[in-house]
Amino acid sequence: MFQRQFLSMVAHHRDHPAVIDSHGTSSTYGDLLQAIDLLRARLQAAGLREGDVVATQLGNSTGYVALLFAMASLGLVHCPINLASSAEHRAMRLTQVGATVLVNERGIVPDGIDVPGFALHSSIPVNQEAPAWQERTGLMRMQETSGSTGTPKLALWRQDRLFREILHWVECAGLDDSARYLNIHTLDGGHAVDLHVFPALLTGATLYLGEASRIEDTLRTLDEQRISVMSALPSQYLALAQAAQRLGTRLPALTRPFCGGAYLDDQVVLEAERDLGIHIKRIYGSTEFGMILANFAPGLQVNCGMRAVGDVEVTLAVLDPAQPEVGEIVARSAHRGSGYFPLPANPVEDDAYPTGDVARRLDDGSLMPLGRTNDALLTAQGTQFTPALEGRLAQSLVLERVVVLVDEQDRRRAHVVLQASPVIAAQKRSTLVMLLERLGVAAGIAAIERIPLTPTGKPDRMRLRMLLGTRHTGMESIIHLKDLT
């Protein structure tokens, strides 16, 4: 599977740059193979065997990339734990999955953790050769979902199905060894690994590692290294567009700027075209399933939808007979994930997958995602979905980020959370009240200096709900929140 394909790339591209980290250090395909084999030998010497669960808590690095391939080649099951996770969350996850080891930079395990540590890098020589490369098809990954449906779950992937999913995406997106990828996401997530790491290194391309928070560095890398493939969130494209407007940077080489999620506002597409000179390509998928919809058209993608990727089958489950063009996206594929932890005896891998996201079928037959089913807000003007509402409010208020939290007990009510200081929030209140009244939205107003984000860069709605608690006001006052984590 992964190992056979990677070895084929090494045979054809041994001296070609494989990974270039955020410090500019370059590793060829030959270098990366050496790093993988060393890790394979060390993991084997530590007593790890096929089916063992390896938890990781690591930052992005070439070593982490090598570890991903080493674990896959040995049939180990990867369970990433984000560096930002609390000690309680880490302890819970290690116990839940029965981790055999915890891999971090130094191999030192925090107090209270009854799991052996394993250092990503070690100067201690290994008196054991790397085991023979073998085909593996078993469970490969336990990965946290973003938590958009509530408490984060662990999405499961078998190696054979993930391998087929990666190659299916590569073929549909027209990717080859000439591509230059930039990944700015944590390697703990599917966004990073499945859209950047594996597509790049299984096709002989070059992968650059960056950091989402370093906007100008990212823009410089995109420009100077002539990056051609990157997937980012709408907010990240907006930040890059603002930086490009200041610096006068254009990105003609970025021909595949993918942007995923349940909703992408046309304004993001327009600003990216105006300030970066790029045409964002819409994609939609999930940690649990893989890629579902995409639009690979070369032009400016505004007021348009997406179509099923390759052999993925997609239908709409109509929610209201009066609106047959609107429904929940339901997908089916021969290369989707294996459900959620724990792995059942008979996984329902080939069953239809209700995504929880709502879309509208346009006149040309394409689908335009509107938001999640639990994003539906009942207003005087009918049902509205919070992603679109958030985009309109942020644009009208000239704020970087606005989050709308629908009341889970009464979908006629919501809280609008502004990312703003108390002074700025007070200045924006009257305009916001006017906008909400015009839309027929009954909402309380809250403000916070910095809206907390999940490890994947999305607003942490669950954290915001916890900060709000049971407080609810009308629009005449503002609740000021403080996130002390």
Q: Using alpha carbons, select from 481, 474, 401 the residue that is nearest to residue 446.
A: 481
Interatomic CA distance for residues 463 and 437, integer angstroms: 27
Residue 116: the pLDDT is 96
Residues carrying CATH 3.30.300.30, the chain = 380-480
Token couple for 180: 């230059």
Under a CB-based contact definition with an 8 Å cutoff, are residues 137 and 158 in contact?
yes
Residue 150: the pLDDT is 52
Residue 440: the pLDDT is 81
Report the chain's mean pLDDT, rounded to a whole number.
91
Under a CB-based contact definition with an 8 Å cutoff, are residues 460 and 396 in contact?
no
Token couple for 53: 């669960």
Residue 35: the pLDDT is 96
What is the mean pLDDT, run by run of 10 residues, along the chain of 485 residues?
A: 94 98 97 96 95 97 98 96 91 95 94 93 78 83 71 88 97 97 94 95 98 95 98 93 96 96 83 97 93 96 95 93 90 93 80 91 95 82 82 88 88 90 93 88 90 80 85 77 72
- 2-361 — its CATH code? 3.40.50.12780
Residue 149: the pLDDT is 47
Residue 376: the pLDDT is 84
Interatomic CA distance for residues 404 and 123, integer angstroms: 50
Residues carrying CATH 3.40.50.12780, the chain = 2-361
How far from 25 is each of 21, 22, 167, 207, 209, CA to CA, in Å? 5, 7, 28, 12, 10
In the three-class reduction of DSSP (H, G, I as helix; E, B as strand; rest coil), residue 290 is classed as: strand
Interatomic CA distance for residues 270 and 252, integer angstroms: 16
Interatomic CA distance for residues 182 and 443, integer angstroms: 40
- 380-480 — its CATH code? 3.30.300.30
pLDDT 10s digits, 111-155: 889 999 999 998 877 777 777 777 888 999 999 886 444 567 899
Residue 445: the pLDDT is 93
Residue 148: the pLDDT is 47
324: left (phi over 0), alpha (psi -120 to 50) or beta: alpha
Residue 413: the pLDDT is 87
Residue 446: the pLDDT is 92
DSSP codes, 340-394: BSSPPSS--TTS-EEEEEEEEE-TTS-EEEEEEGGGEEEETTEEEEHHHHHHHHH
Interatomic CA distance for residues 359 and 367, integer angstroms: 6
